[in-house]
Amino acid sequence: MASAERIAVITGGQGDLAQAIAQAFPSDIYTVLTPSRAELDVSSRDSVQSYFAALPQVDLLINNAGLCDDALMLKLTDSAWNAVLDTNLKGAFLTSQAALKSMLRRQQGHILNIGSYAARRGPAGQANYAAAKAGLIALTQSLAREVGSRNVRVNCVLPGWLETKFTARVTPGKTAQALEEHVLGRFNTVSEAARAIVFMDTLENMSGQVIQLDSRISKWF
């Protein structure tokens, strides 16, 4: 490990956003760990417990691991539902639970959940993904209430539509439709999202908040 005393863990560590976040953190602030799924399967309690047990502490956990398996409701299978919920929601539960052990003991830490605009809009064909990401917002706020008195922060960020491997398989028509919803006429970028996430970690008096990073505008309900 590097010389930084604080440790950050970014799940789904081989993804484009995770790598950009890791590069955006100054090396003197955190030792940043970006485990692949082979190293840390967030849907497996055994894998999560084994990984975190090997760390001296966790100061920042970024729950970035994500999975899509889209289908219209009548074609949505149990396996697709379970896989998406297990990765996007249960995974954040398991890793947060593991990281909190050292955070609460030391009375400091930050959990930052990577959410999605899908939680606000519930796109057709993404019932499993939207449900998981909506649950992640509720988890964020419930957990923030639980651990705030111990000086542990919990926040959620909606990075926006990013042109990454995760969105590469979306059809050009759906991509163009998504772009039309952005009042600035452009998508957010991976580097800008990473820069904002690094900045959010410095806001020591913010917890339980959901921050959106693009230019789409909609009512919450």
> What confidence tens digit (pLDDT) does each residue in 127-160 have?
999 999 999 999 999 999 999 999 999 999 999 8
Q: How far apart are CA 113 and CA 2, in angstroms?
A: 24
pLDDT in tens, 59-94: 999 999 999 998 999 999 999 999 999 999 999 999
**Tell me, what DSSP letter sits at residue 62?**
E
| Dihedrals phi, psi of 33, to nearest 5 degrees | -105, 130
* Cα gap 163→88, rounded to integer Å: 19
Quote the CA–CA distance of 212 and 115 in Å, as a whole number: 9
What's the token pair of residue 198? 């690094």
Please write the tens of the pLDDT for every residue from 15-29: 999 999 999 999 888
Residues that are catalytic: 129
- Among 35-44, 109-118, 170-179, 209-218, the minimum mean pLDDT is found in 170-179
109 forms bridges with which residues in the sheet? 152
> What's the mean per-residue pLDDT of the chain?
93
For residue 174, what pLDDT is reported?
Answer: 81
Does residue 102 contact residue 57 with C-beta atoms inside 8 Å? yes
